[in-house]
Amino acid sequence: MNNKKIIIPIILLVALGAIFYGITKFKRSDKKVADYIVPELKLAQMKVTNLTAEKADMKMNVLIDNPAPIGFSIDSLFYIVSIEGNEIARTTYPDSLRLEARDSTTVELPLTLYHDKLADVLKGLEKQGRDSATYTINATIFTDMVLIPKDKLNMKVEKRLPLIRIPEIHVTDIKMKDVGFKGATMVVETAVKNENVFPIRFSDMNYRVQVDNNGWMEGSKPGTINIPAKGATTMTIPMEVELKEMGKNALDLIRKGTDVHYDFRMNTKLASDAQVLKESKIALNSSGKLKTVVDAVKEHAKD
């Protein structure tokens, strides 16, 4: 019994000594309490999921590392994305998250970039001859963790990524072939331009064409089209159409090259060796006057 009475005070003295030593060492170091409890944000992947002429929908996979010895919940997460210090988007991830003690959690954050906001930034970087830029995420997490003052924490992460430019598609010719009593083959010639520093590929192409106010004509093209980096390629799109589907009026307009309006729209899968564009979807549009296209073809034939 006496031995137990002696051992317990000794254990308490050792524990107090360890705590005192830890506090003294911490005070002499350059570290702060925040270094032991503040989560760290890491950008694992940034991927484009859908591209249109107006915007780019993206998903950012970020890793939130919790170094604290206790777990806690995040009520919401607010983040601002910048390119070379220029803010291009801000949004909130409203769902709650749980961070376990000394553990990491991966979160998929949605992001929409509008090209009108990106235009000036991209032009400035292009004038400098830049093909990549530093993307910065400034995030604020809101939590009820008692160790965190004012119930919020600020985090920041930076990553060097290539600049993303939307491929451009232009209709270079529309003509009719194999015209019969029941239908015809409409051939749409297009040129696809890729301003990116990496090659891209189109696959599973689905498209629609409308001439003047006539109905939409739809088709698809199997296979893969390769567009080189900083280059362009041509693409021929044949469409088998019935006269009742297209209308004789549209057929005559196309054959004569009359000054009427056309719309061309294509949805396709976009592939690239660049991680940011893997397995993305893209919507490309081209519109204009049919006579302009026909005249351009005739002018080109003379050269």
Q: pLDDT tens digits, residue range 149-177?
A: 556 778 888 888 888 888 888 888 877 77
Domain boundary among 144, 162, 180: 162
Q: Which tokens in the block code for residue 49?
A: 């999921």
Question: What is the structure's pLDDT at 120?
Answer: 81
Residues 176 and 296 in one domain: yes
Residues 295 and 176 in one domain: yes
- Per-residue pLDDT, averaged over 268-289, amounts to 82
Q: pLDDT tens digits, residue range 38-88?
A: 788 888 777 788 877 788 888 888 888 888 787 888 888 899 999 989 898
Could you list the residue range(s) of the whole structural domain that residue 258 is in?
168-302
% of residues, the chain, pLDDT over 70: 73
- Per-residue pLDDT, averaged over 286-300, amounts to 65
pTM, to two decimals = 0.68
Residues 130 and 218 in one domain: no
Q: What share of the chain is helix, strand, coil (3-state, %, to 5)?
A: 25, 55, 20
Residues 187 and 143 in one domain: no
> Is 5 inside any structural domain?
no
> Is 24 inside any structural domain?
no
> Is 2 inside any structural domain?
no
Question: What is the structure's pLDDT at 71?
Answer: 81
Query: Are the C-beta atoms of 231 and 194 separated by less than 8 Å?
Result: yes
Residues 75 and 173 in one domain: no
- Per-residue pLDDT, averaged over 110-114, amounts to 87
pLDDT-derived band at 19, boundaries 50, 70, 90: very low
In this structure, which amino acid lies at residue 266? M
Residues 43 and 158 in one domain: yes
Residues 196 and 255 in one domain: yes
Query: Are the C-beta atoms of 272 and 200 separated by less than 8 Å?
Result: yes
Average per-residue pLDDT in the chain?
77
- Between CA 242 and CA 178 the distance in angstroms is 12
- From start to end of the chain, where are the E strands? 40-51, 55-66, 72-83, 86-93, 97-99, 103-114, 132-143, 152-162, 168-177, 183-194, 200-211, 217-227, 231-242, 261-272, 280-289
- Between CA 188 and CA 177 the distance in angstroms is 11
Q: pLDDT tens digits, residue range 225-275?
A: 999 999 999 988 887 776 665 555 566 656 665 667 888 899 998 888 877
The CATH number of whichever domain residue 44 belongs to comes to 2.60.40.10
Q: pLDDT tens digits, residue range 82-107?
A: 998 989 888 888 888 888 888 888 88
Residues 198 and 95 in one domain: no
Residues 43 and 78 in one domain: yes
Q: What are phi and psi of 150, to 5 degrees?
A: 60, 15
Residues 107 and 196 in one domain: no
The CATH number of whichever domain residue 283 belongs to comes to 2.60.40
- Between CA 38 and CA 29 the distance in angstroms is 17
| Beta carbons within 8 Å of 95's beta carbon, 6+ residues apart | 76
- Between CA 60 and CA 42 the distance in angstroms is 10
Domain boundary among 111, 130, 162: 162
- Per-residue pLDDT, averaged over 212-230, amounts to 85
Domain boundary among 135, 162, 189: 162
Nearest of 116, 51, 33 to residue 278 by alpha carbon:
51
> Is 3 inside any structural domain?
no
- Between CA 79 and CA 111 the distance in angstroms is 10
Give how far Cα 123 sits from Cα of 88, 119, 128, 158, 163, Å.
Answer: 14, 6, 9, 21, 11
